[in-house]
Amino acid sequence: MPPDPSESRPLRRFHVGAKAVITRGPSILLLHEAGRDAWDLPGGRVEGRETLPQALRRELDEELPGIDELRIGEQLGSVIVSAIDGDPGLLLVLHAVEARLPPAIRTSASHRAHAWVPVDEARRRLAPELAALLPGPPVKGSA
């Protein structure tokens, strides 16, 4: 029997964000967030009426000053990150990104470090939800 529309559940709200998987050879670029013991992929939340590509370009310009020749490629997947402390959840969409970065990478004030790490190491450093979407075969013991 089809669901009764009068018994509909309230809509669940989410923030939406875009993340970049930027590779150099066999390595992926990770950023270390200032004030947290966490590594992340470059990118962030969509603002206003931005499209995902617009938001990703803006976030990459903010987080990686000097990034150039940016090309947003295929979507690698998406994941919902659970809500914390009453904040709505976050729907993250990962994209393969090609870009030219300066030899001496600078990051924004919201990050304290960057690292080029092999995919298996990136999977260990990232939140399991993001790690599962990275290209290549999963590493034993990861999601």
Name the helix (H) or strand (E) containing 81: strand 68-81
Cα 120 to Cα 26, 27, 62, 97, 130, distances in angstroms: 10, 9, 27, 19, 13
Percentage of the chain exceeding pLDDT 90: 62
Split into its structural domains, the chain has a count of 1
Whether residue 53 is contained in a domain is answered as: yes
Domain containing 68 — which CATH number? Answer: 3.90.79.10
Q: Tell which wins on pLDDT, 94 or 3.
A: 94
Whether residue 13 is contained in a domain is answered as: no
What pLDDT is stored for residue 1 in this prediction?
60
Q: What is the pLDDT of residues 77-134, one digit of tens each?
A: 999 887 666 667 889 999 999 999 988 888 888 898 999 999 999 999 999 989 999 9
Whether residue 9 is contained in a domain is answered as: no
pLDDT bucket at 136, cuts 50 / 70 / 90: confident
Whether residue 126 is contained in a domain is answered as: yes
What is the pTM for the complete model shown? Answer: 0.83
pLDDT bucket at 143, cuts 50 / 70 / 90: very low
Indicate whether 9 pLDDT > 70. Answer: no
Whether residue 55 is contained in a domain is answered as: yes
